[in-house]
Structure 1
Amino acid sequence: MRNKILVALSLATGCLALPALAQEADLAAGEKVWKRCAACHMIGDGAENRVGPELNGIIGRKAGGLEGFKYSDAMVKAGEEGLVWDNEQLHAYLENPKKMVPGTKMAFAGLRKVEDRDAVVAYIDANGGEAAQ
């Protein structure tokens, strides 16, 4: 009986660790994809605007709404028309920026793979992308 309990506890604890391992894998994949973004954007402590705006607190922020960054007129207009960045909007934008916001200055063609978009959005969330509470 004791062995059965130990096996059950081991299985239960192992199952609890699986989501954490999956999250670590997603973040590792996101970090890899992020390298493509890092040519123009920064996130995390000490992030500054580059060719693109720094992305701290992007989740919940109005498009074109970061003080101190010169956005395209198209991005400012998108924000004025109600575009607020959330995970769904980031996924759509990262798939094809010029399709979602015609006239954007962002030269990046987009991430075609859903897995890449999922991973980089998770990376952004984990590294400062969530709006301050």
Structure 2
Amino acid sequence: MKEGKKEPTLKDYNTLFKSLYPQLCVFAYKYLDDLEASKDIVQEVFIKVWEDKTAFQDEDHTAGYFYKAVRNKCLNHLKSKRPALKVMGIIYTNLAYDTGPSFYQERNLTTSLNYFLSHFLIIGV
């Protein structure tokens, strides 16, 4: 937790959970196409935030943090479960048509795919 921010209470987390959980599950489902796995991943992110006593500057930072954390957990899940090309296709589809917060819509699709290719695919195999 950063200095100057009060530690969130259980009530704060409960409010946050109620407001973000449904939309984060839908967001995760776009990546995973598996409702139960989507719910599990979103719940894991909330648990991690609770355990780390993470404090946020404001509501925009909070939502952005959760969306990014859920996205990363989904990609890690896909990476461990599916062939790399299938993952790349899902990323391409979601980045092109994502209806989440504007920071996802503004992301350059080519840059994202190049990053994925350079970091997750083993060339020459």
Q: What's the TM-score, normalizing by structure 2? A: 0.30
Q: What's the TM-score, normalizing by structure 1? A: 0.29
Higher normalized helix content (fraction of residues): 2
Q: Specify which structure has the bigger relative contact order, considering alpha-carbon pairs within 8 angstroms and separated by 6 or more residues.
A: 1
